[in-house]
Structure 1
């Protein structure tokens, strides 16, 4: 039986994907005490990077926001793999966002809102989090966005 968070995802038409395997020498998540820290997730969909390129150039703002949202979906898939039940998440503590963009792009925070807004949409007030958003010249696989996260567990 699906828990409260998975029921909320179903209401939103979201099915969690199979968590992505690491592509280098790292683990997808670590658990320390009551925290699960999830490695950066890119906008994978059906095993492929769904949105590539630089936001503000080849990638529109809307596509960048969608990429950040998809990254958060992939974060949740990793959390579920780590702890088995998303209802164990009591708070989204922190998100870190990396936005591939050119040197003149300044709307990184707007792009990252795709992940932040979705965190609140899924977890309610427990989805409100601290955040860092950084512009970078490129990301693995030419992904437009990458998001990492830290979650508190019950």
Structure 2
């Protein structure tokens, strides 16, 4: 099954591909590799999910924010490539979680994005090397920021 068809089968709603909020490109392709800049949890109504894990957000809400971030990343990929079917595999995922000093469940939060990519691209192509880190601040108070590297078919 194609990845684009999988999006429909899973009844996923991709938000508009986010526009840059600074001097950078949301996605850069070099050969058969695409590098996605950090994406935040942008909803379809163009608002962002904000908060701090361990203070005013729990893991479940953070997981949903990471999943929403993954949907935005898929929108960026689709806009740039024309089709998600051009994806060969996810190579690396880096997730940042805005949290309190004592919060230590960053991997459980970033699973929201990781599990989305696994569900769309499959166990082999959708699961990659990954880091999940905590931080005290992210732009605009967003709950998570995630970047990724994908290999595309030549």
State TM-score, norm by structure 1: 0.94
Structure 1 residue ranges (4+ consecutive) displaced by more than 2 angstroms after TM superposition: none
Partner of residue 134, structure 2: 135
8 Å contact from structure 2 (residues 15, 42) kept in 1 = no
CA-based RMSD of the aligned residues comes to 1.1
Partner of residue 66, structure 1: 64
Q: Provide, for residues 33-84 of structure 1, a one-character-per-residue CA deviation record: whole Å limited to 9, x for no partner.
A: 10110111100002110x2111121011101001111111111111112111
Q: How many angstroms apart in 2 are the aligned matches of 1:5 and 1:57?
A: 37
Q: Of 107, 113, 116, which residue of structure 2 is paired with 1:115?
A: 113
8 Å contact from structure 1 (residues 52, 59) kept in 2 = no
Partner of residue 25, structure 1: 23
The 5 Å alignment of 1:1-154 reads 4-45=2-43, 46-49=45-48, 51-124=49-122, 125-154=124-153
Q: Provide, for residues 87-120 of structure 1, a one-character-per-residue CA deviation record: whole Å limited to 9, x for no partner.
A: 0001011111000000001111111111111111
Q: How many angstroms apart in 1 are the aligned matches of 2:7 and 2:61?
A: 21
Question: Structure 2: where are the runs of 5+ without partners?
Answer: none
Q: How many angstroms apart in 2 are the aligned matches of 1:17 and 1:66?
A: 14
Q: How many angstroms apart in 2 are the aligned matches of 1:9 and 1:56?
A: 32
Shift of 1:18: 1.7
Q: Provide, for residues 9-35 of structure 1, a one-character-per-residue CA deviation record: whole Å limited to 9, x for no partner.
A: 112221222211101111111000101
